[in-house]
């Protein structure tokens, strides 16, 4: 039931597990105990978790069981389901580290909004999973607590920055997980680890309690083994939150209503540039095969030009680094977090605390951000990047006048070998070429498995929707999942 996906084949879904629990066929505590045993067995190999809440999870399991027995959670799809949480999402009284020395012992005095919503639905949190430090990276190699390994091959990275979350689901160490996505950080690791992940429309899920990397781009979303599991988690965590000024109310959050096996008449566009230079041939073949599956189900699939996204990578890294430079200025050794033990002046306190507390990739992006925001370069870089962001949004708006969904690869390659990209950060940044434009335009997108390469590594299919068109991508993804025979 909760054994490793790779050992046992098809794992039990969150929906099926919750149904068994509510039917009285299995106890929540037994489910959680078995899940904790899998973590003890597997995590020495994969290192998905930073903190495991063994005692707290078992206590919570008993509480949820008592509430289920009393008739609560009848309509909840997550009652009794174990879930892992990316370690940049605040949990009251429990360590929330952002995989950084800077926050190694930080215990927030409050829950993120998504945590309260999960607990109100009867979910059981297993612990906090590994990530790139402050979500800055695409491999989960920049974590202060050590790297996470891909369950499809321990010599490969799981992707990032939500690599711990995706690897935990792939390895059977969690049934579902929450990640965050600033430029592809849910979708790319989902692609590398062969699981499904949704980046919702910006403003759909509250960012209250998500430790910021780039506030205008960050969004929390689910990772699971199936489209239905992800849609169910999204339905629980989505909703307007007055505590988040960027939260946008919508008419309906019933994402499970989009789990319909039907794409007849749906217009699906494939940007020609997504199939060009830099895309591995095996990935291209799998993506075109996926498009063929949808076409056979009645979708209208055609290629079109979306050239403006070629500018997405430089615009993204200018804007994200600028916001990171501002957001991370709060970590100065005075208010909270790490403080250097050896200093003689306030200036030395700031300098040594930040030098010792942040890792190399975080420092690199903060320095880039400070540079592009400086008086001599603000117009040349930051303002220009803002204009490009607006042009990318306009390009997608024009595309969605004709198409319901845009289809393409999640990443240009399958999982890379550990250490392959650390020495060449530019190469790592270019790996985000198909994902960052979605965040710049605030769009919803989903990554789901569509095959494997000759090395047995998963390939991810990305579906992009119009603003608040989350149901469109869920329906198309579900239809592909139900009809894909590979």
Which residues are the active-site residues?
Answer: 86, 161, 185
Q: How does DSSP assign 54-91, residue by residue?
A: HHHHHHHHHHHHHHHHTTTTTT-TTTT-EEEEETTB--
Which stretches within 374-435 are classed as H helix? 384-400, 425-430
- Which two three-digit tokens encode residue 437? 């434009």
Measured between alpha carbons, how far is 189 from 290 in angstroms, rounded to an integer?
19
Measured between alpha carbons, how far is 168 from 150 in angstroms, rounded to an integer?
9
CA-CA-CA-CA dihedral for 357, 360, 365, 369, to nearest 10:
60
Distances (CA, A) of 155 to 101, 141, 258, 279, 416: 25, 12, 37, 22, 9
How does strand 267-271 pair with strand 300-304? Answer: parallel
Sole residue written with tokens 């469109």 = 472
Q: What share of the chain is helix, strand, coil (3-state, %, to 5)?
A: 45, 15, 40
Q: How many CB atoms lie within 10 A of CB 468?
A: 19
Q: How does DSSP assign 132-175, residue by residue?
A: SGGG--SSS-S-TT----BTTBTTB---SSSHHHHHHHHTTS-S
């Amino acid at each position: 039931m909760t054994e490793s996906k790779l050992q046992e084949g098809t794992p039990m879904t969150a929906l099926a597990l919750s149904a068994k629990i509510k039917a009285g066929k299995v106890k929540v505590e037994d489910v959680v105990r078995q899940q904790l045993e899998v973590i003890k067995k597997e995590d020495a190999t994969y290192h998905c978790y930073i903190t495991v809440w063994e005692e707290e999870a078992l206590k919570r399991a008993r509480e949820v069981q008592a509430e289920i027995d009393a008739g609560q959670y009848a309509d909840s799809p997550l009652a009794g389901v174990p879930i892992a949480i990316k370690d940049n999402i605040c949990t009251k009284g429990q360590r929330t580290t952002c995989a950084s020395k800077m926050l190694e012992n930080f215990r927030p005095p409050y829950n993120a909004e998504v945590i309260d919503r999960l607990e109100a639905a009867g979910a059981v949190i297993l612990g906090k999973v590994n990530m790139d430090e402050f979500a800055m990276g695409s491999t989960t190699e920049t974590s202060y607590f050590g790297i996470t390994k891909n369950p499809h091959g321990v010599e490969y990275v799981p992707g990032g920055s939500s690599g711990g979350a995706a690897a935990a689901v792939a390895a059977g160490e969690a049934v579902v997980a929450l990640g965050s996505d600033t430029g592809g950080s849910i979708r790319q690791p989902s692609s590398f680890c062969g699981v499904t992940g949704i980046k919702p429309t910006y403003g759909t899920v509250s960012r209250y309690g998500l430790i910021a990397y780039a506030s205008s781009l960050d969004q929390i979303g689910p990772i699971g083994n199936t489209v239905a599991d992800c849609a169910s988690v999204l339905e629980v965590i989505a909703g307007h939150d007055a505590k988040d000024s960027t939260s946008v109310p919508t008419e309906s959050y019933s994402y499970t209503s989009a789990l319909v096996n039907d794409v007849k008449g749906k217009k699906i566009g494939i940007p020609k540039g997504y199939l060009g230079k830099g895309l591995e041939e095996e990935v291209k073949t799998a993506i075109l095969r996926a498009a063929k599956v949808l076409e056979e189900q009645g979708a209208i699939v055609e290629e079109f030009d979306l050239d403006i996204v070629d500018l997405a990578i430089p615009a993204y890294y200018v804007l994200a680094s600028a916001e990171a430079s501002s957001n991370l200025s709060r970590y100065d050794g005075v208010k909270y977090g790490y403080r250097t033990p050896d200093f003689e002046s306030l200036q030395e306190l700031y300098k040594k605390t930040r030098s010792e507390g942040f890792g190399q990739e975080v420092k690199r992006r903060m320095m880039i951000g400070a540079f592009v925001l400086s008086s001599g370069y603000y117009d040349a870089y930051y303002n220009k990047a803002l204009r490009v962001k607006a042009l990318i949004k306009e390009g997608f708006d024009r595309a969605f006048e004709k198409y319901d969904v845009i289809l393409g690869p999640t990443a240009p390659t399958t999982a890379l070998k550990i250490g392959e990209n650390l020495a060449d950060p530019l190469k790592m940044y270019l790996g985000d070429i198909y994902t960052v434009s979605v965040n710049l335009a605030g769009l919803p997108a989903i990554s789901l498995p569509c095959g494997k390469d000759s090395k047995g590594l998963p390939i991810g299919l990305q579906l992009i929707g119009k603003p608040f068109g989350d149901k469109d991508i869920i329906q198309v993804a579900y239809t592909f999942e139900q009809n894909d025979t590979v």
